[in-house]
Amino acid sequence: MYLLQIDWWIFFEKLILVAVIVTTALVVAMYSTYAERKIAAFLQDRRGPNRAGPFGLLQPMADGLKLFMKEEIIPMTSSKFLFVLGPMLAMITACMTSAVIPWGSTIDIKGHQVPLQISDINIGILYIFGVVSLGVYGIMIGGWASNNKFSLLAAVRGASQMISYELAMGLSLLAVLMLVGDLRMSSIVNHQIANGWNVLYQPLGFLIFFICALAECNRTPFDLPEAENELNFGYHQEYSSMKLGFYLFAEYINMFISAVVMSTLFFGGYDIPFVNEAAWGNHWWVGLIGFVVLMTKAALFIFLFMWIRWTIPRFRYDQLMNLGWKKLLPLALVNMLITAVVILLLHK
Amino acid sequence: MQALTNRKQQVERKPMTVWEKLYLPSIFKGMGITFSHLFKKKPTINYPEEQRPFSSVFRGLHILNRDEEGREKCTACGLCALSCPAEAITMEAAERQPGEEHLYKEEKYAAKYEINMLRCIFCGLCEEACPKDAIYLSQTFAPANYGRKGFIYNKEDLLIPDPNTDPEGYEKAKGDIGKNIK
């Protein structure tokens, strides 16, 4: 009868939290497409979408509707099951990462302690890395199932890029974990609230992490998987309609998630700089402010991603591998070593 | 060796310095340049709401003119069609019946008058050829259309609004040309 002793309140509370967070991620990703087009336009002295609704704010809906209405083509020689599975996997893995991110401090609702985090598992950051690595399967399956040599090559290219940059990313993260001494996302944030943001101690680590995050999200200058002009598009070449939409959308969700992860790991998460918000007690609005602060940080990162995209041309493939393996990986190793030595010396 | 042009430049192939190899300084420089463009004035004109001003000699869509009493000036002499290098103009003449004096200025008028805007090259030779000041090129241009048929403008499309019943429309259609007519 142990099963019936579940605290139904927790079940209910987590359900609401999941719904809110996934919806937030989707809406943010949707409006990232709008922001991308607007920022691209502004950086190029244009106006951007301004026809659908005031300031073109309904443009994402129109785009989504267009993608749904378009003809759905499944190539005859493709393996149908995998062809459908590819974009689904990409989308699911993109949404899953948001589960362990602390979106705000623990709040008090009628005596219940409600943490604004879906699940505070003790290997939080490893979970994110695990799920992000699963995203490679979306790319590989999509490229393989298309039964098109260009798609397959692009999928191999994209997968090897993601795998290569995951190494340097993981190593730069190790230095952070040495500082904090815990894999739990909430304790990473709490450590930063107590001791100052990680970016102050790990500027090089942050730079490496940021560059790798760009590569993981397939953003410029690492957007080889979707180099439509010189590399004949990417692994989603055979995709059309909303399946293509899912691939592109998953990338925007990934971008949002990586922006949030970077704010959490290096920029104090929901911590407000120069303010001791713990003194305000745990009212519900403190949690909300924390959430808004985290979203602001994430928005700044998303802007940075887009700003970089519309400034830098993309790398050639050999330059990409060169940077990943010969520059970032040794640099991350050195960074890790220095951090380890300094920590050892300070503790002695 | 003597250079063929005066634009010859020696290409520098110095190895990059460490600072240049870092790549980051030039990225930040580039990002500074793009960021400054965020605040620049945008040269785009929001077309249907705002329109670019044309000069008074701009040759746009044709209008068939009326006189002050609102009578059509065109006598269907065919000189415009003859002068047209693109052969875009077709017309059929008709005789003015008694009682139609308020509609047509002279005894002969154009019953049918068509200009194919896809053929027209907007050279303005019809305007020059017209002995009756009946056809003018206005300062608007042909709006987009879904089919080729939509670009064949008939007399109703081309005629200027009646100055007696619709003086505002008349002035608007005439635009700056009015100043040149009288």
Give residue-wise pLDDT tens across range A255-302.
999 999 999 999 988 888 877 777 777 677 888 888 899 999 999 999
Q: Is A21 a domain residue? A: no
Q: Is A50 a domain residue? A: no
- CATH number for the domain running over B62-180: 3.30.70.3270
- Whether residues B38 and A42 touch (CB distance < 8 A) is answered with yes
Q: Is A269 a domain residue? A: yes
pLDDT score of A230: 67
Cβ contact A297:A263 at 8 Å: yes
Phi, psi angles (nearest 5°) of residue B127? -65, -40
Total tally of structural domains belonging to chain A: 1
Chain A partners of B28 at a C-beta cutoff of 8 Å? none
Cβ contact A183:A126 at 8 Å: yes
DSSP assignment string, A94-149: HHHGGGG---EEEEEETTEEEEESS---TTHHHHHHHHHHHHHHHHHHHHHHTT-H
Looking at the predicted structure, is the pLDDT value of residue B176 above 80?
Answer: no
A145-192 pLDDT, tens per residue?
988 888 888 888 888 888 899 999 999 999 999 988 888 888 888 888
C-alpha–C-alpha distance, residues B73 and B96, integer Å: 12
pLDDT score of A263: 92
Closest residue of chain B to A311, computed from CA coordinates = B31
B77 is in an annotated binding site: yes
Q: Which domain covers residue A126, as residue numbers?
A: 64-346
C-alpha–C-alpha distance, residues B165 and B158, integer Å: 17
B39 is in an annotated binding site: no
Nearest to B77 by CA among B132, B124, B152, B136: B132
C-alpha–C-alpha distance, residues A276 and A286, integer Å: 11
10-residue stretch averages of pLDDT, chain A, 348 residues long: 66 86 90 92 89 88 90 87 90 88 79 78 88 87 87 86 89 90 88 88 91 87 75 79 88 91 89 77 78 91 92 86 91 93 88
Domain range summary for chain B, segments of one domain joined by +: 62-180
Q: What is the mean pLDDT of residues B12-37?
A: 87
C-alpha–C-alpha distance, residues B52 and B173, integer Å: 16
- Whether residues A311 and B42 touch (CB distance < 8 A) is answered with no
Of the pLDDT bands very low, low, confident and very high (cuts 50, 70, 90), residue B182 is very low
C-alpha–C-alpha distance, residues A333 and A338, integer Å: 9
Q: Is A7 a domain residue? A: no
Residue of A36, A43, A222 to mutate, interface with B, max B Cβ within 10 Å: A43
pLDDT score of B17: 85
In this prediction, what percent of chain B has a pLDDT beyond 90?
Answer: 31
C-alpha–C-alpha distance, residues A208 and A331, integer Å: 8
pTM: 0.81
Q: Which of A43, A46, A47 sits opposite B34 (nearest CB)?
A: A43
Chain A partners of B40 at a C-beta cutoff of 8 Å? 45
Residue of A37, A38, A42 to mutate, interface with B, max B Cβ within 10 Å: A42
Chain B partners of A43 at a C-beta cutoff of 8 Å? 34-35, 37-38
The single-letter code of the amino acid at A190 is N
B127-164 pLDDT, tens per residue?
999 998 899 888 887 788 899 998 999 998 888 888 88
pLDDT score of A302: 93
- Whether residues A45 and B27 touch (CB distance < 8 A) is answered with no
Looking at the predicted structure, is the pLDDT value of residue B1 above 80?
Answer: no
Q: Is A237 a domain residue? A: yes
The rounded radius of gyration (Å) of the Cα atoms in chain A is 21
Using a 10 angstrom Cβ sphere, with 0-12 exposed, 13-18 middle and 19 or more buried, the burial of residue B106 is middle
Q: Does ipTM surpass 0.95 in this model?
A: no
Give Cβ neighbours of residue A339 (< 8 Å, ≥ 6 apart). A175, A178, A179, A201, A202, A205
Nearest to A146 by CA among A82, A91, A242: A82
